[in-house]
Structure 1
Amino acid sequence: MDQLNALSSPFRVIPLARLASGGRWRTEAMRSYGAPVLLWFTRGQGRITVNGKTSGYTSHNAIYVPAGTMHGFEMNSTVHGMIVVFPVGVEDELSLPEDPVHLRLQEADQHIELNRLIENLQSELESGNLASDRAMLCHAGLLSVWIERQMRALDIEEPDEDASSRLAAAYTALVEQEFHSAKTVRDYAKELGVTPTHLSRVCNKACGRPASSILADRVHYEARRLLTETHMPIKDIASSLGFASAAYFTRAFQNHTGRTPSQFRRGA
């Protein structure tokens, strides 16, 4: 089961290694969550794609991802860290950022303070004490204040994006909204007022993969999630993701993952 959906508490603090325990697709495939998250990389390095733009991350990088924002990141055995999951719908109450934020923290006191904030939240989460939900909200508020202060200290403002970055972000946002449909890259390109070739060229420039790969990645992440977390019949999963038939879904899924949906479900 997806660790981000497995626990009943509105707050979650999860080791990245645990999140990735079901396979690389758990972190690398394009997906979004219904709640905002903070990724805290304490060791290792790799690449992360957020909103259609790929950049590198290293140890002591904190990356805030708003709810509903498509993202995925590389993770190998050298990468360690935590993911903090906020409750759904608390962005305004906690004054969380509206856009993704990538904090590259170079000072030891920054690392110590963030670790302390996360540990305090985790301790309250595990305590089960009276009014722990209210206490966790207070700790999360302090974490939100910390993010805002780091943005100011590092002089992080609204991203100065070029036309290609804006188009890639617009495409990933559309895919996130409509990947359950049977829309093709051509359909998305038409909606965005560009040609499929131009859209793919822009996506390749922004995140190193064509538009078709982003779309397929998002669809098949959802397929794998439904296969591992639900008992939905395969034909219903196929229908929910816009495939014309279960047979077509099976062929597409096997081409993408190397296993049929039934094999993947049994293995999970």
Structure 2
Amino acid sequence: MSALVPAYALYGEGPDGFPDDLHVETIPARAAMHDWRIRSHRHGALFQFFFIASGGGTAIIDSGAHALGPGSAIALPPLVVHAFDFAPSTEGHVVSVPTAVLDRLSHREGSWRGVFQAPLVLATGEAWSAEISAVLCLAHGEYNAHRAGRAEALAALAGLILVWFQRALTAREVAAGSDAGLSGARLVQRFMAQLQADFRLHPSLSDRARRLGVSVPHLSRVCRQVTGSSALALTHERLALEARRYLAYTSMTVAEIAFSLGFEDPAYFSRFFARHVGVSPRAYRADPARVRPKPLADARGRSAPGEDMRTRGQPLPP
């Protein structure tokens, strides 16, 4: 039987209330006391943002490994299982923002929840790094100073950090191609947000495309251009990911997992899982660490550790 993956408000502190609009701390403040290794965990109602100023290491995000170095920036939505193995003396910051704060900052279509509905890993250049470093240092100082107007200042700084990550994602999309490429990336973002919301319901691709205002061939073609995988493959990958989470971190039976993911026949679910993961559900549960999920390929047919998990392309321009 698999143990549940720990759920924290902040790593090691238990899922208690979160009183501020954001929490800011340096990476050494928590990582050093754990020998620079943060074990697998998740957060129920927090978005987290990481920035590596110097040093580096490895991030494990939903079983995928991402090499980190100076200028690496990460955005993690709630419930994503993640772990870190930092190089000693790594410097940087970790920002945690409650989902309610994101909701307050969302004021138009394409809200923050849509932008950060999947993990984001970026490699930033010198100018981008300097900008976010300045904001994070300011936020860290404001968080610890406890001066008048602290709540308002923290809310404003949370907005600046969120804007920086959104701009960084947009810049990456632009760097990856033309305006048409940017439009395609936005379509894929909308598709992924839709998929995140209803993947358990198994709507047809025709229904998904209709709701997005495009044809099925166009949706699949754009998904391949942006991610290297078809819309159907992305749909299957999302289901397989959730199945791996249930198998690794809960004691639900295979049949219970199948029904919770919208499969009417547990036997069909087992065949689906084996086809996409490479082993049966029971074999995966016996040793999740031994089985690496089949990665989504980029347009060149290769997985790309450390790249944006949604819109793979070139690192941010300096």
Q: TM-score, normalised by structure 2?
A: 0.53
Aligned to 2:97: 86
Distance 2:277 2:196 in 1: 20
**Residues 36 and 85 in structure 1, CA contact (< 8 A), matched pair in contact too:** yes
Aligned to 2:297: none
**Residues 93 and 136 in structure 2, CA contact (< 8 A), matched pair in contact too:** no
Residues 20-169 of structure 1: pairs in structure 2 closer than 5 A: 35-41=46-52, 59-64=70-75, 84-92=95-103, 98=112, 99=115, 104=124, 106=126, 113=134, 141=155, 143-144=157-158, 147=161, 162=180, 163-169=183-189
Return 178-187 or 111-120, whichever deviates more. Answer: 111-120
Q: Cα gap change, 1:153/1:211 in structure 2, threshold over 3 Å: closer, same or farther?
A: closer
Q: Cα gap change, 1:144/1:255 in structure 2, threshold over 3 Å: closer, same or farther?
A: same
Residues 170-181 of structure 1: pairs in structure 2 closer than 5 A: 170-181=190-201
Deviation, 1:87, is 2.5
Return 80-89 or 196-205, whichever deviates more. Answer: 80-89
How many residue pairs get aligned? The number is 234
| Partner-residue secondary structure (3-state), 1:89 | helix
1:8 matched to 2:15? The reply is yes
Aligned to 2:254: 234
Distance 2:48 2:230 in 1: 26
Per-residue Cα deviation, 1:66-121 (whole angstroms, up to 9, x for no partner): 669xx999x9999x877644223222567898345979352676576567578789
**Residues 219 and 231 in structure 2, CA contact (< 8 A), matched pair in contact too:** yes
Per-residue Cα deviation, 1:35-90 (whole angstroms, up to 9, x for no partner): 323132456699xxxxxxxxxx973143546669xx999x9999x87764422322
Q: Cα gap change, 1:83/1:180 in structure 2, threshold over 3 Å: closer, same or farther?
A: farther
Residues 170-249 of structure 1: pairs in structure 2 closer than 5 A: 170-249=190-269
Return 34-43 or 162-171, whichever deviates more. Answer: 34-43
The RMSD of aligned alpha carbons is 5.1
**Residues 10 and 88 in structure 1, CA contact (< 8 A), matched pair in contact too:** no
Deviation, 1:219, is 1.0
Q: Cα gap change, 1:240/1:149 in structure 2, threshold over 3 Å: closer, same or farther?
A: closer
Distance 2:166 2:188 in 1: 27
| Partner-residue secondary structure (3-state), 1:180 | helix
Per-residue Cα deviation, 1:137-172 (whole angstroms, up to 9, x for no partner): 789647516526858999x89x88644233222211
Distance 1:241 1:193 in 2: 26
| Partner-residue secondary structure (3-state), 2:51 | strand
Aligned to 1:128: none
Task: Point out where structure 1 has 5 or more consecutive residues left out of the alignment.
Answer: 27-31, 47-56, 124-130
| Partner-residue secondary structure (3-state), 2:126 | coil
Distance 1:236 1:184 in 2: 23
Q: Cα gap change, 1:139/1:215 in structure 2, threshold over 3 Å: closer, same or farther?
A: farther
Distance 1:77 1:148 in 2: 24
| Partner-residue secondary structure (3-state), 1:179 | helix
Q: TM-score, normalised by structure 1?
A: 0.61
Identity across matched positions, percent:
25
Deviation, 1:202, is 0.5
Deviation, 1:267, is 1.5
| Partner-residue secondary structure (3-state), 1:194 | coil
Q: Cα gap change, 1:181/1:122 in structure 2, threshold over 3 Å: closer, same or farther?
A: farther
Deviation, 1:196, is 2.6
Distance 1:104 1:144 in 2: 20
**Residues 52 and 72 in structure 2, CA contact (< 8 A), matched pair in contact too:** yes
Deviation, 1:17, is 6.5
Return 184-193 or 91-100, whichever deviates more. Answer: 91-100
Q: Cα gap change, 1:215/1:91 in structure 2, threshold over 3 Å: closer, same or farther?
A: same
Aligned to 1:50: none
Aligned to 1:49: none
Distance 2:167 2:273 in 1: 46
Amino acid at match of 1:250: S
Amino acid at match of 2:48: V
